[in-house]
Amino acid sequence: MAHKAEGVEGLRSIPALLHRNATEFGNAPAYREKEYGIWQSWTWAEAEEEIQAFALGLLNLGVAPGDYVAVIGRNRPTLYWSMVAAQMCGAVPVPLYQDAGAEEMEYVLGHCGARFVIVADQEQVDKVIEVQDSLHQFEHMIYVDPRGLRKYDHTHLHEYSHVQAQGRAAHDELTGELAARRAGLGYDDTCVMLYTSGTTGKPKGVVLSNRNIIEAARSSAEFDHLGRNDEVLAYLPMAWVGDFIFSIGQAYWKGFCVNCPESVETLATDLREIAPSYYFAPPRIFETLLTRITIRMEDASPLKQRMFRYFMAHARKVGPAILDGKPVGGMDRLKYKLGDWLVYGPLKDAMGFSRVRVGYTAGEAIGPEIFDFFRSLGINLKQLYGQTEASVFITVQPDGEVRSDTVGVPAPGVEIRIGESGEVYYRSPGTFVEYYKNPESTASTKDAEGWVATGDAGFFEEASGHLRIIDRAKDVGQMADGSLFAPKYVENKLKFYPNILEAVVFGAGKDRCTAFINIDLTAVGNWAERNNIAYASYQELAGHSQVLETIQGHIEEVNASVARDEMLSGCQVHRFIVLHKELDADDGEMTRTRKVKRKVIAEKFHDLVEALYSDVDQIYTETEVTYEDGRKGRIKATLAVRDAAVVPVTPRAVAAE
Amino acid sequence: MPDQSEGYVTADGRQIGGVLMEMRDITLKFGGVTAIEDISFDIREGEIRAIIGPNGAGKSSMLNIISGFYTPTIGEVWYKGAKRPPMKPYEVARLGVARTFQNIALFEGMTVLDNVMTGRLTHMKAGIAAQALWFGKARAEEMENREVVEKVIDFLEIQNIRKTPVGRLPYGLKKRVELARALAAEPSILLLDEPMAGMNVEEKEDMSRFILDVNDEFGTTIALIEHDMGVVMDISDRVVVMDYGKKIGDGTPSEVRSNQDVIDAYLGVAH
């Protein structure tokens, strides 16, 4: 193949990078996992041995080149090794969201035709067994944690360590074959297939080649000067492209160490112990953190509260400027130093951010207030804009040019153009090969010249050259009077309030905007506790008149702030309902990456939407919910529909033209 | 009841071994009150054995006899094929009998980890001085014990509260910590005194799961007292039913369920 000779420094696959790392700095740590209360670690040399042994085991089970190997579970070294081992065998790893229900798994496993499934534990084994009858290509399942599985039928079920042991035993027979397969990995061969959660329709399998992953990892790692001594904590879903790029792409390219937490519940402690230098989180995580800090400060002693408020006010004033290296007066610097010593430092340490050199947020727009809060503490939090189809990177913010309302400049090697409709198109070495078994979608997304439509509307700011994303192209609309409707803009402002977990704004084609609100149980529950307000359920708390008052206050503040934006002043929220249930991915209301599915919500709660656009002040509704174990139930509620005050705006000149 | 001379196989296919502990003609009197009257039964290796009965039936007294807290007025306790002389509870614990309590008995001010570590006390042999200085054998010993404890913590999924003082935990979790402490002793017999008392349905389900898993993974023999008939019938292999200090039934859950005396004791009967 002509492409064989290509590849940076002749490194054309993840296993090739692994071998380079194990040879050049074999004693440096590659993986750590907290297990039994201690951080266990593996060097690159040890990791390669583990992966090879497992790859031999896979060969022994009959993994053929081009096979699809599904991987399901939380972030654990063994599962990362499984993916690389599959690649060594010439197979394609397909990580799946571990919290997906059996039906979702059935679709993806059936669509990619996985012959092998590697899972973490009994929970996942049970799910796959539940759907295996309809999976014609499925042959073997391998699990990592044997707990509770001893009595299962082991004809097609294998324990990870056994597969590895068999691999070691068959070393002499199979090692030649494995070497041949590794040598055969080409730059344009498939590296991984990732299913996009998709805010609409069935998930699509995005095929990414070795070239995509390695080029994207290389250029982005250079951009942020990542090095071998960086540390990351792998905690985001393995099925998400970001995790693949950070925990495999960049980690293998640069040779830094990937740390895996002990369990989901211990995440905060583990984060603090590792104190990563390179950190990635969706806006949601930062929102949750800010909520938690706010709550804890409200419970703190008056002295601490005053100190916190005083220094945070100072941090907001000068923190971002100091971070960006802009000139700041000597007194202010001194005061910031003092604040760092008294407040910012301990705060960062408590959150596990004491060593963050580069932090990214992406996946969704982050509320400016949340963004500024973290930056003012001196955390170099930046935004990037990307998607699975681009191997993450489309635009990134360079150090010193960070703003909350833009997503930065085109990432190295990425070309961007804005379509006539305002839609953003890009072309890059990371651009995906195709959607698996879906030529129509491939054709409608990616044109012959390699330009990919993002589905997002945006524009380049003249002055800075930064890209600004307005909203999903299909979400941005017009209201009845022709003014611009950008729901996410308003929702993000609402979500800044700790009491509001989620908001969905309606208004396309209507004369006014309305909203659904989800309260944040942690924040509101804490408030209820402090004010001696008793409640028996989420539903009851969400319907409490004082809670509604508070939420209304938040909405009115947001309205005032929205009214100041000339283009979007029409998006003020006139009426709202506080929902009786949390929007949930299990009910199909959100994606697994926790983005709201607007259309689904509008259809599912159509009665409530109608109520928002009528005169009623309360509405009775019944909603179907899915419990974690897949059972379904119904909840009934009578919800208040409330009006919020809006700031009158004079019709814009543009509209009058 | 199946023939038990050489053990038996349970409904779900587990092989139950020979007799591990046997109560022979036990009678327990407090002054003029007879708490237990002439009861005999055995506990076999690897089984989950329940003792049930209405309030005041003498269940806890029976458990206290097994754990060595009470010495029977009449009768013998046979353990691992030998008659057990009267013993202090800590001596019984050394023989591999660990228990949890009906009213949680943890050290509230200590962390979960420290509480569970106390379950290893019977396995620690180094002297006070060596332990205080964390020196030589004491150090090696502590590391070994910590490893066992960490495996238990992992098993019961309480990693996230490892360093939390027990006093701050909700009830259901405290119960789990108690189970962890008992498990840390690596007992031959685990005695559970009303493990589900005061729990909601979800907590009961979790606890049942853990009890079954402990039995399954470590092969630990479990003797439990429980009020909740539903739970007992679901998870035990054999059940002893007591009423007013007497044994009124003994057998598999289905046998016990159809026993007229048992039905009368639980539902009441017209006299």
Q: Could you tell me which residue, A473 or B111, shows the higher pLDDT?
A: B111
- What was the pLDDT predicted at A425? 94
Q: Is 90 exceeded by the pLDDT of residue A10?
A: no
In chain B, residues 206-265 whose CB comes closer than 8 Å to chain A = 213, 216-217
- What was the pLDDT predicted at A655? 39
Facing B159 at nearest CB: one of A148, A151, A266: A266
- What was the pLDDT predicted at A486? 82
Hey, are the CB atoms on A36 and B147 less than 8 Å from each other?
A: yes
- What was the pLDDT predicted at B270? 60
Same domain? B22 vs B127: no
- What was the pLDDT predicted at A563? 87
Q: Average pLDDT, stretch A541-557?
A: 93
Q: CATH 3.40.50.12780: which residues of chain A? A: 3-221
Same domain? B173 vs B197: no
pLDDT band at A100 (very low <50, low <70, confident <90, very high): confident
User: Which residue has 């283009």 as its token pair?
Assistant: A567
Proportion of chain A above pLDDT 90, given as a percent: 61
Positive/negative CA dihedral, B103, B108, B113, B117: negative
The highest-level CATH class for domain A3-221 is alpha beta
pLDDT per residue, tens digit, chain B (271 aa), is: 444 467 888 877 788 888 999 999 999 999 888 999 999 999 999 999 999 988 888 898 999 999 989 999 999 999 988 999 888 888 888 889 999 988 888 999 999 999 999 998 888 777 777 777 777 778 888 888 999 999 999 999 999 999 999 999 988 899 999 999 999 999 999 999 999 888 888 888 889 999 998 998 888 999 999 877 888 888 999 999 998 889 999 999 989 888 888 888 776 666 5
Hey, are the CB atoms on A262 and B159 less than 8 Å from each other?
A: yes
A477-643 domain in CATH 3.40.50.300?
no
Please report the DSSP string for A59-112 in residue order.
HHHT--TT-EEEEESSS-HHHHHHHHHHHHTT-EEEEE-TT--HHHHHHHHHHH
- What was the pLDDT predicted at A256? 96
Contact residues, chain B, for A35 at CB < 8 Å: 154
Structural domain range at position B39? 1-96+187-271
SS (H, E, C) A21-72: HHHHCCCCEEEEEEECCEEEEEEHHHHHHHHHHHHHHHHHHCCCCCCEEEEE
Chain A contact for B116 (CB, 8 A cutoff) = no
Same domain? B156 vs B77: no
Q: CATH 2.30.38.10: which residues of chain A? A: 399-471
pLDDT band at A432 (very low <50, low <70, confident <90, very high): very high
User: What six digits make up the tokens of A200?
Assistant: 């609409």
**Which own/partner contact pairs does A552-561 have at CB distance under 8 Å and 24+ positions apart?**
A552/A576, A552/A642, A552/A644, A554/A494, A554/A497, A554/A499, A554/A500, A555/A494, A555/A515, A555/A517, A555/A644, A556/A644, A556/A645, A558/A490, A558/A493, A558/A494, A559/A644, A559/A645, A559/A646, A559/A647, A560/A647, A561/A493
User: What six digits make up the tokens of B35?
Assistant: 């708490």
Contact residues, chain A, for B154 at CB < 8 Å: 35-36
Directed axis angle between helix B137-155 and helix B201-218, to 10°?
130
Interface test with B, best of A36, A38, A153, A629 (most B CBs within 10 A): A36
Which residue of B lies nearest to A36 if distances are taken between CA atoms?
Answer: B150
Alpha-carbon distance of B255 to B262, in angstroms, equals: 10
Interface test with A, best of B142, B159, B216, B218 (most A CBs within 10 A): B159
Hey, are the CB atoms on A36 and B217 less than 8 Å from each other?
A: no
Q: List the CATH number of the domain containing B44.
A: 3.40.50.300
CA distance A60 to chain B (A): 29
Say if residue B244 is exposed, middle or buried (CB neighbours under 10 Å; 0-12, 13-18, 19+): middle
Same domain? B153 vs B26: no
Same domain? B27 vs B92: yes
Q: CATH 3.30.300.30: which residues of chain A? A: 477-643
Distance of CA A287 to the CA centre of its chain: 13
Alpha-carbon distance of A295 to A292, in angstroms, equals: 5
Chain A contact for B31 (CB, 8 A cutoff) = no
List Cβ neighbours of A49 (8 Å cut-off, separation of 6 or more): none
Contact residues, chain B, for A76 at CB < 8 Å: none
Same domain? B196 vs B168: no
Contact residues, chain B, for A37 at CB < 8 Å: 113, 146, 150, 153, 159, 162
pLDDT band at A40 (very low <50, low <70, confident <90, very high): very high
Chain B contact for A302 (CB, 8 A cutoff) = no
Hey, are the CB atoms on A37 and B153 less than 8 Å from each other?
A: yes
CB atoms within 10 A of CB A4: 14
CB pairs under 8 A between A and B: 34
| End position of a domain, from candidates B186, B207, B236 | B186
Q: Is 50 exceeded by the pLDDT of residue A79?
A: yes
Q: Could you tell me which residue, A474 or B72, shows the higher pLDDT?
A: B72
Cα dist. A161→A143, A144, A448, B251 in Å? Answer: 9, 7, 46, 40
Q: Is 70 exceeded by the pLDDT of residue A657?
A: no
Say if residue A513 is exposed, middle or buried (CB neighbours under 10 Å; 0-12, 13-18, 19+): buried
- Spell A555-570 as b/e; 16+ CB within 10 A means b: bbebbeebbeeeebbb
Which residue of B lies nearest to A38 if distances are taken between CA atoms?
Answer: B150
Sheet holding B97-100, edge to edge: B97-100, B189-193, B221-225, B48-52, B238-243, B246-251
Q: Average pLDDT, stretch A641-651?
A: 82
CA distance B73 to chain A (A): 42
Alpha-carbon distance of A314 to A335, in angstroms, equals: 8
Facing A36 at nearest CB: one of B154, B157, B163: B154
Alpha-carbon distance of A524 to A144, in angstroms, equals: 39
Hey, are the CB atoms on A150 and B216 less than 8 Å from each other?
A: yes
Chain A contact for B162 (CB, 8 A cutoff) = yes
| End position of a domain, from candidates B153, B171, B186 | B186
Hey, are the CB atoms on B150 and A38 less than 8 Å from each other?
A: yes
| End position of a domain, from candidates B154, B171, B186 | B186
Cα dist. A236→A242, A448, A653 in Å? Answer: 8, 33, 46
Averaged confidence pLDDT in chain A: 89
pLDDT band at A42 (very low <50, low <70, confident <90, very high): very high
Hey, are the CB atoms on B162 and A37 less than 8 Å from each other?
A: yes
A553-577 pLDDT per residue, tens: 999 999 998 888 777 788 899 999 9
Q: Is 90 exceeded by the pLDDT of residue A598?
A: no
Hey, are the CB atoms on B154 and A266 less than 8 Å from each other?
A: no
Domain count, chain B: 2
Same domain? B241 vs B133: no
- Phi/psi for A101 (5° steps) reads -75, 170
A397-409 pLDDT per residue, tens: 998 888 887 899 9
CA distance A42 to chain B (A): 19
User: What six digits make up the tokens of A68?
Assistant: 């699809």
| Backbone torsion region of residue A268, taken as left when φ is above 0, otherwise alpha when ψ lies between -120 and 50, otherwise beta | alpha
Same domain? B158 vs B170: yes
Facing B150 at nearest CB: one of A36, A147, A151: A36
List Cβ neighbours of B59 (8 Å cut-off, separation of 6 or more): B51, B52, B53, B225, B242
Distance of CA A70 to the CA centre of its chain: 20
Which CATH architecture fits A399-471?
Roll (2.30)
Cα dist. B18→B6, B7, B21, B42 in Å? Answer: 6, 5, 9, 10
CA distance A270 to chain B (A): 10
Among the listed residues A390, A437, A359, the one whose alpha carbon sits nearest the alpha carbon of residue A219 = A390
Same domain? B131 vs B20: no
User: What six digits make up the tokens of B94?
Assistant: 């050394």
pLDDT band at A26 (very low <50, low <70, confident <90, very high): very high
8 Å CB contact between B245 and B37: yes
Q: What is the dihedral of CA A552, A556, A562, A568, to 10 degrees?
A: 70
Q: Is 80 exceeded by the pLDDT of residue A349?
A: yes
